[in-house]
Structure 1
Amino acid sequence: MRKPELLVTPTRVEDITSLIEAGADAFLIGEVRYGLRLAGEFKRDDVIKAIEIAHAANCKVYVAMNAIFHNEKVDELEDYLQFLQNAGADAVVYGDPAVLMAAKTVTPQMKLHWSTETLATNWYTCNYWGRKGAARSVLARELSMDEIIEIKENAEVEIEILVHGMSCMFQSKRSLLGNYFQYQGKSMEIIPSEDNGNLFLYDPERNSKYPVFEDENGTHIMSANDICIIDELQELIEAGIDSFKIDGILKSTDYLVEVTKLYRKAIDLCVENTDQYDEMKNNWLEKIEEIQPKNRGIDTGFFFKETVY
């Protein structure tokens, strides 16, 4: 079996070396102005430094340009794409066709990954964007294991899935929290997500807390639990899924490093010795449960249709 890429979203450039040592193969970074729900803010100098560190270790760096763009940012896209090409980015992650059009104009050789969070739900659509120029599709979080495998069987592009971390349940371009505070006669400054991660939408019926944060792209409400399928990797690896993503949003560096180490061991052993993987997978799951934040459980999301948000 071929090993899938282990893709991690770091919170800062200083963490990339430790994540490489933990076993990451690739990184997704970006600037909040152009990317959605990033684990950390990477300005242009940070992007350059991150690429230098990763490439020195034969790892890849993908840069997020998957924001929802309005007219005022369209003129910036070509310049940012040109910068990313000069910096040596391995791919650009996009959802808006405006990015695709800009890339065809100024960076036609740039590798593109299509990611819309919710729309990649069938292989036909994945192939449509592949024929437009995308090399990879990032699948929606609401798919079951069987649906993911069927998509991979028919896909003409690489397939990436989330294997660990929180999912976005809702996004509004509006500053809902900021508007609410303003209505009360108060002001609320939009600050980086890692600093306002203590805001929650509370559901007393389910006793669940849904993290809420705001950034330049609006308001985001995230899932109450983290997806974790470290004990369910074999079927996905056998199906040939190309990339497994660990999302670091609202997570500490130490947590990300430890989770990356565990998935690295799980992937390697599953490829090399499936019987030993079967023996060890429950142990890895228990270790993740031990380091989980107290207010966040883990589940398998929609992989087996057992969770409804």
Structure 2
Amino acid sequence: MKKPELLVTPTCVEDIEPLIDAGATALMIGEEEFGLRLAGEFPREDIEKAVYIAHGKGAKVYVAMNALFHNEKLPLLPDYIQFLDRVNVDAIVFGDPAVLMNVREHAPNMKLHWNTETTATNWYSANYWGRKGAKRAVLARELNMDSIVEIKDEAEVEVEVQVHGMTCMFQSKRMLLGNYMEFQGKDLKVEGRSKDRSLFLHDPEREAKYPIWEDKNGTHIMSPKDMCIIDELEEMIDEGIDSFKIDGILKDGEYLKRITALYREAIDLYIEDSDAYEGKKEDFVREIKAIQPPNRDIDTGFFFKETVY
């Protein structure tokens, strides 16, 4: 039975070694200029450090270039891609074909992971981008388990699935918060306050708080609960899903280390002794609930169509 990669998004360079020690086998990093909704900001010198540390411990590093690029950003792509190639990043995560075309020209040996956040919903699309050069498809977070399994059955590329963390509900390229505050005559300079932890949209009817922030990529509204399927991994492991992702956005390094260790234990336990995994499911969930932030409950996302936003 193939053991899936455990992919984690660290908040800073100092997270890298502890996360690998906790069981991560790959890390996704990047900077706001090129990547969407990252757990932390990694300028070039930190990317180079992260690759050095990770490769020294046998882990991989992927860099996010999945932002929505307008014409004025296109001249920045070749130099950044050449830098990533030079420091031996293991793959670039992309959504825009402009990234793919520039990688073909400036770093033809670089691996590509296709990630558009929302449109990877069928195996035809995954295979289309595979034939264009992508080695992996990152599936949409809104898919149920049956759809994930069916895509993996037919996919000609690797398949990555998020198994833990918050998910994006809405993004606009516009600075909606800043514009609203300006209209109200209030001075709230939210642009550039990336991942401000103090801003929420409050829905009293559902007793839900939706984290919201603005950065260079616009306005982002996130889910009120964290996806968690540590007790529902068996079907995807049996099916051969290639990568399980833990999204660390709006979490700290200590939380990520503990969550990573729990998923590492769960994956290894199922592969070694499926009955033992079955018997420990409730313990895994209980341990995760114990370390969740007070305002962040967990659910199973869209895996079983229970979540309604």
Query: Which bin holds the TM-score, normalised by the shorter protein?
Result: over 0.9
Where does residue 106 of structure 1 map in the other structure? 106
**Structure 1 position 149 matched with structure 2 position 149:** yes
Q: Distance in 2 between matches of 1:182 and 1:48?
A: 39
Amino acid at match of 1:144: N
In structure 1, give the amino acid aligned to 2:34: Y
Secondary structure of the 1:134 match is coil
Per the alignment, residue 287 of structure 2 pairs with: 287
Partner of 2:203: 203
Q: Which residues in structure 2 correspond to 1:161-176 (within 5 Å)?
A: 161-176=161-176
Residue matched to 2:271: 271
1:193 Cα offset (Å) = 3.2
Task: For 2:197 and 2:66, locate their aligned partners in 1 and report how far apart those are by CA, in whole Å.
Answer: 21
CA deviation after TM superposition for structure 1 residue 180, in Å? 1.5
Give the TM-score of the pair, scaled to structure 2.
0.98
Aligned equivalents of 1:178 and 1:258: distance in 2? Answer: 36
Mapped to 2, the partners of 1:24 and 1:281 lie a distance apart of 20
Deviation sequence 1:250-289 (CA, Å, 0-9, x none) = 0011110000000000000111110100011110110000
Indicate the residue corresponding to 1:72 in structure 2: 72
Aligned partners of 2:181, 2:88: CA distance in 1, in Å? Answer: 42
Task: Give the superposed CA RMSD.
Answer: 0.8
Question: One-letter code of the match for 1:232?
Answer: E
Q: Could you report, residue by residue, the CA deviation over 1:139-176 in whole angstroms, capped at 9, with x for unpaired residues? A: 00010001000000000000000000000000000111
Contact 1:193 1:250 in 2 (8 A): no
Counterpart of 1:10? 10
Q: Which residue is 1:43 aligned to?
A: 43
Q: Which 4+ residue blocks in structure 1 deviate beyond 6 angstroms?
A: none
Separation in 2 of the partners of 1:193 and 1:99? 23
Q: Secondary structure at the match of 1:264?
A: helix
SS at match of 1:267: helix
Distance of 2:211 and 2:188 partners within structure 1 = 20
CA contact 2:29–2:64 (8 Å) conserved in 1: yes
Shift of 1:101: 0.6
Distance 1:113 1:40, change over 3 A: same
Contact 2:190/2:213, CA 8 A, preserved across alignment: no
Point out where structure 2 has 5 or more consecutive residues left out of the alignment.
none
Q: Cα distance, 1:197 vs. partner?
A: 1.4
Alignment partners' CA distance in 2, 1:191 and 1:124: 37
The 1-side partners of 2:193 and 2:30 are apart by: 13
Question: Structure 1 pair 302/189, CA: closer, same or farther in 2 (3 Å)?
Answer: closer
Structure 2 equivalent of residue 190 of structure 1: 191
Higher mean Cα deviation, 115-124 or 173-182? Answer: 173-182
Q: Which residue of 2 aligns with 1:54?
A: 54
* Residues in 1 aligned to 2:193 and 2:91: alpha-carbon distance in whole angstroms: 24
Q: Tell me the SS of whatever aligns to 2:61.
A: strand
Q: Which residue of 1 is the match for residue 220 of structure 2?
A: 220
Per-residue deviation, residues 41-67 of structure 1 (Å, max 9, x unmatched): 000000000000000001000000000
Unaligned regions of 5+ residues in structure 1, if any?
none
1:211-267, Cα deviation, whole Å (9 max, x unpaired)? 001111000000000000000000110000000000000001111000000000000
CA contact (8 A) 1:182 1:188 kept: no
SS of residue matched to 2:237: helix
- By how many angstroms is 1:79 displaced? 0.7
Deviation of the 1:191 alpha carbon: 3.7
- The answer to whether the 8 A contact 1:4-1:243 is kept is yes
Letter in 1 for 2:169: M
Deviations 1:10-61 (A, max 9, x none): 0001111111111100000001000000000000000000000000001000
Shift of 1:131: 0.2
3-state DSSP of counterpart to 2:162: strand
Secondary structure class of the residue paired with 2:305: coil
- Look up the match of 1:87: 87
Is the contact made by 2:6 and 2:25 (CA closer than 8 Å) also made in structure 1?
Answer: yes
TM-score, normalization: structure 1?
Answer: 0.98
SS of structure 2 residue aligned to 1:232: coil
Letter in 1 for 2:252: S
| Partner SS, residue 193 of structure 1 | coil
Equivalents in 2 of 1:161, 1:3: separation in Å? 14
